Chains A and B, each alone.
Chain A
C-alpha cells in the first residue's frame, strides 16, 4: 500500500515539474537578439602560478532561438571580434590580439554556432556547437543556465573549457596552461 502511495507521489512530483518546465519554456520561447551592453564574454587562461590571463571581449553580437515545444530545437549563434580582447594590460592586449594568439588582423571574427541543445534540468542545458577561431573549426560543448526571464529579456550564464591548442593558440605553454575557461553571460531581447 505504502509502495503505491510512493509511486503516485513520485508521479505527481514528476508531472508538476514537467508542467513547470513547459510553462517556463512557453514563457521563454522566441527569437532573441543578444544585447552586448548587458552581456559579457570573459576568458581565463590559468597559469602555473599567479592569476594567469583574464580578459573579455567587448565587441560581439549574436542571436538565439528558444523553441516553444522542444528545447532541443533551440539555436544560438555568436560572432566575436577578437581584436576587442581586453585584459587590463596593454602589453597583454597587444600580444593576445596579435599574430601570437588571435591574429585578429587575419582572422577578424570568431564564431560559435550551436548544433545541438539538450536540456539537463529545469533551467539548465548542454549546448553543443562549432567554434571557429583563427581559421579552425572545432566542436565544443558548453553548459547553459537560465539566469532570468524579465519582460522581453532572457539572460543565460554559459560556461565551458577548451584546449587553446585546438585553435593554434597555445602561446605561453607550459607557463600558461593549454586551456581557456569561458564564462559568458548573454542577455537577449525578444524580437
Chain B
C-alpha cells in the first residue's frame, strides 16, 4: 500500500497525470474519443463564430472595422448595402479610399481630418456623440447620404489595434427636419398672407372713414379680432420653431436693455388701465446668451399677463437680480389670486384656468407654455413665485454669461 502510493507519487513527478477522464496510454479507442471531443469543441466554436457573424450581419446599422492604419478589415451587410458595394470588395482597402466623407459643402475630408484618425491615435476615445450634424458618406455610385457615426477604438493587450464605426443613415431624419422647416415657412406664408391683407385693407378703410362714427366701433372690433388671429399665428409658429429645435439662435444680449425694451413696448397698454410699470435693475446686470426675439417675447408675455390680470391703477413691478450663477427676472402685479387647483397646469399648452377665462376670455393658453419652453431650452427655469390676496408674481432664471 505504502509502496504503491510512492510509485504513484513518482510517476506524477515524471509524467504529469492526464486529466482524470483521459486515458494515459493513448489506446486507439481513447485517441478517437479525444478527436471526437476536439471536433465537438471546434464545431461549437464555429457555431459560436457563425452566430456572432450572423449577429454582426443582422445589425441594422452599418459597421466598419479597421486596423491601426485605417485599413478595412470587416464590414457588415448593412454597410455594404448602404454604400452600394458587393461582397467583400472593401476588405483590405484604406477607409478614405473606400468611403469618402464630405462636409455639407461637398468638400472631401482627408484621413487626418476624419475622426477615425483621432480614434486610432488614441486622441479621442469615443467620438460618436460628437459627429458633426452635416457629415456625409459617399456611396460607390458617387451619391451621398447624411450619416451619424459612433466611433470607438478597439484594444488588444491595452493597445489600440483598430477602430469600430457603427453608422446610421440620417436621410430620414434630415427629411423630417426639412419637412418641419418647410411647414413653418408654408404656414407662415399661407396663414399670414390673408391676415396681412385684412390688416392693411382695414388700415385703409379706417383712414378713409376717419371721423365717421358709424363705422369706427365696428372697424375697431374687426381690427382687434384680426390682431388676435395674428398673435395666435405668431404663437403657433413660435411653438413649431421651438419644437423643431430651430429656436436656439443664441447671441449675447444685454439683459437690462432687453427687459427695458419689453417694458417700454407695453407702457401704453398699462396706461390704458391706469397702471404703471416699475423696473428695478439690480447691480451687475450684464449679458446673457439667449435667442433675443424669443426672450423678448417671454418677458413681454409675462408683463402683458400682469397687466391683463392686474387691478386697474396699480403698479406692475419688474425686477432683474443677479445671483452668482444666473439672473432672476421677476414680474409681479397687484391683482386676484390664482386658485391653487389651477397652478400646476399654468404652463401647459392651451391650458386656461376658469378664473383666467373670466378675466380675459380671448387668451390662447400658449403664452406661459412658450415662456416655459423657451426658458428651459436656454438652461433656465420658470415658476409662479407667489399668488395671494396681494397679487401674483412669476419669475424665471437665465444662466449668466461668463
> Are A and B interaction partners?
no
What is B's interface to A at a CB cutoff of 8 Å? none
